[in-house]
């Protein structure tokens, strides 16, 4: 069984802590051993980056070095964490002086950034390393009849040098949703509008205007749920949308690991589907009858 280091970030240490055990089981089903890297820290998001980029490089070089110390690549399940870690790797791999300075700091902890670990976002890892056919083989509860709008988020698309998907024409989620038996809806108004998660902390009004755009467009296109590979986009679409959207206009959002776990046979609670603020009405019927 192949092994990869798991970067839990903040979400999997806090509100989504219940999901790690499930994710580990799901990946084991797919032939991958997730090794939790327990001493990693918050990536800093965009917040620290704006104030002290050198500190962000130091924090994340350390996170990567912890994986390298065990001879492992790094799996990331958050768009923002992926972007920050990948930007750090790109900067250190292309700037020997910066790398030397950062390593002087890491040496105090007996660590060294070598640049040997690959940073994997969960979406391309599932598609390229696990493979669609393997995923299809493991589906136990196909998402038959589920009309699912795909929402990529921003930090999976930018900046270009570390982007996972093409910013103009992102692909991958649709193939994965189809493999799980669902009907993906890719083109809808608002699909490229930021979820507003980070904006909420500085301008609540702007964030609440942003967060309803994708759900509104998805609903008009016939979608019953949205699926996103980012826990922050999911939280915005679950929490902020609940605050900003009329009840009849709300479209439930599902985090990629949740829908993957459910389709692979895990129950609604174990898959995280019962923790949502906006209930998954259509899926609730399927959950109660087949879960």
Asked if 213 and 251 count as a contact pair (C-beta separation under 8 A), the reply is: no
Q: In what order do the strands lie in the sheet with 2-7?
A: 32-36, 2-7, 74-76, 119-121
Q: Is the pLDDT of residue 8 over 60?
A: yes
Q: What is the mean pLDDT of residues 260-285?
A: 86
Res 283: pLDDT: 55
Q: Where are the domains of the chain?
A: 2-122, 139-290
Q: What percent of the chain has pLDDT over 70?
A: 96
Res 46: pLDDT: 77
Domain spanning 2-122: CATH 1.20.1050.140: yes
Asked if 42 and 76 count as a contact pair (C-beta separation under 8 A), the reply is: no
Q: Across the chain, which distance is largest between two alpha carbons, in Å?
A: 60
**Of residues 202 and 188, more confidently modeled:** 188
Residues 6 or more apart whose Cβ sits within 8 Å of residue 244: 208, 209, 211, 212
Q: Which CATH number is associated with domain 139-290?
A: 3.40.50.11810
């Amino acid at each position: 069984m192949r092994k990869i280091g798991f970067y839990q970030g903040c979400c999997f240490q806090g509100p989504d802590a219940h999901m790690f055990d499930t994710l580990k089981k799901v990946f084991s089903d797919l032939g991958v051993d997730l090794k939790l890297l327990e001493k990693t820290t918050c990536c800093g998001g965009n917040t620290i980056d704006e104030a002290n980029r050198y500190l962000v490089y130091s924090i994340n070089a350390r996170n990567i070095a912890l994986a390298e110390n065990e001879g492992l690549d790094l799996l990331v399940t958050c768009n923002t964490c992926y972007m920050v870690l990948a930007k750090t790797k790109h900067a250190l791999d292309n700037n020997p002086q910066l790398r030397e300075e950062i390593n002087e700091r890491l040496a105090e902890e007996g660590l060294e950034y070598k640049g040997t670990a690959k940073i994997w976002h969960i979406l391309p890892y599932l598609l390229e390393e696990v493979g669609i056919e393997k995923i299809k083989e493991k589906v136990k509860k196909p998402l038959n009849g589920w009309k699912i709008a795909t929402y990529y988020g921003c930090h999976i698309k930018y900046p270009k040098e570390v982007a996972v998907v093409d910013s103009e024409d992102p692909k991958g989620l649709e193939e994965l949703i189809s493999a799980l038996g669902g009907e993906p809806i890719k083109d809808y108004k608002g699909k490229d509008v930021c979820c507003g998660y980070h904006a909420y902390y500085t301008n609540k009004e702007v964030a609440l205007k942003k967060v309803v755009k994708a759900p509104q467009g998805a609903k008009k296109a016939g979608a019953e749920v949205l699926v996103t590979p980012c826990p922050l986009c999911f939280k915005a679409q679950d929490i902020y949308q609940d605050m900003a959207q009329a009840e009849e206009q709300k479209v439930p959002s599902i985090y990629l690991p949740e829908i993957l776990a459910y389709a692979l046979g895990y129950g609604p609670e174990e898959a995280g589907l019962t923790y949502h603020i906006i209930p998954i009405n259509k899926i609730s019927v399927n959950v109660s009858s087949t879960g």
